[in-house]
Amino acid sequence: EAQVTQNPRYLITVTGKKLTVTCSQNMNHEYMSWYRQDPGLGLRQIYYSMNVEVTDKGDVPEGYKVSRKEKRNFPLILESPSPNQTSLYFCASSPQGSTEAFFGQGTRLTVV
């Protein structure tokens, strides 16, 4: 089944403790993105990647890192999480030449 898989689905952590949210897609898509969703703000793009080893900042990149060492994986790294990073995070992928994005199920992160 074609899908974008995020792990974990739920995570509660403490301020300053490094964490990684994984994202994997099995559709051989070139483009991958991370978004955060906050009430009343919709989805805002954090980072995106156009292919392996090619990443760029989105609208709200502060406090986040990404890497794209393999085409299928696009992990989101929070080196020192803070409470303002409490949010619902979505990973998405798109094939080259397409305008459609496929979304994962989301990761609800709480930083206390």
HSE-up of 9 (CA within 13 Å, CB side)? 4
Q: Does 28 bind other proteins (CB under 8 A)?
A: no
Q: Does 61 bind other proteins (CB under 8 A)?
A: no
Piece in contact with other proteins (CB under 8 A), picked from 18-26, 42-50, 62-70, 74-82? 42-50
Token pair recorded at residue 83: 């409470």
Find out whether 68 and 88 touch, Cβ atoms under 8 Å.
Answer: no
Cβ 34 to other proteins shortest distance, Å? 12
Coil/strand/helix, residue 96:
coil
Q: Which of 22, 44, 52, 110 binds other proteins (CB under 8 A)?
A: 44
Piece in contact with other proteins (CB under 8 A), picked from 16-24, 60-68, 75-83, 97-105? 97-105
DSSP states of 30-48: SEEEEEEEETTTEEEEEEE
Q: Does 106 bind other proteins (CB under 8 A)?
A: yes
Those residues with Cβ within 8 angstroms of residue 43's Cβ, 6 or more apart along the chain or in another chain:
35, 36, 37, 90
**Binding-site ranges for other proteins (CB under 8 A):** 4, 30-33, 35, 40-45, 48, 50, 58, 90, 92-94, 96-101, 103-106
